[in-house]
């Protein structure tokens, strides 16, 4: 329950900071104009990794819609996939931030 509470708290913080629902924040963050801007700002290999991750996230998003109805073994598999994606996303975001802050744009 603590993890769910942390997630809801994080979502609320994001919604307060940006003044819109989490769905809108996410849609805006990965909108075509934003992605095009990002593609021009970072190395192609890094952008490719980011886009690949977005595709992976899209593939498993349908499973997260009815998460409470999944059998236990599928919940565990999904949990592992989400943890792995989270690590990968954190790594890519760190690389993007390092690249952008280095002034190599």
Burial grade of 103 (CB within 10 A; 0-12, 13-18, 19 or more): exposed
Read off the pTM.
0.76
Each residue of 1-59: pLDDT tens digit? Answer: 677 788 788 888 889 998 998 888 888 888 999 999 999 999 999 999 999 999 998 88
Give the separation between CA 69 and CA 63, rounded to whole angstroms. Answer: 10
Read off the pLDDT of residues 56-105 as tens digits, 9 standing for 90 and up: 988 888 778 888 888 999 999 988 998 899 899 989 999 999 999 997 65
């Amino acid at each position: 329950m603590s993890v769910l509470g942390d997630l809801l708290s994080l979502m609320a913080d994001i919604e307060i900071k940006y003044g819109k629902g989490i769905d809108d924040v996410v849609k805006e963050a990965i909108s075509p104009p934003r992605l095009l801007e990002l593609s021009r700002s970072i190395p192609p290999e890094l952008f490719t990794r980011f886009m690949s991750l977005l595709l992976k996230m899209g593939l498993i998003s349908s499973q997260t819609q009815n998460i409470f109805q999944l059998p236990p073994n599928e919940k565990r598999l999904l949990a592992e996939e989400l943890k792995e994606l989270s690590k990968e996303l954190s790594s890519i975001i760190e690389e993007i931030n390092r690249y952008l802050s280095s002034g190599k744009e």
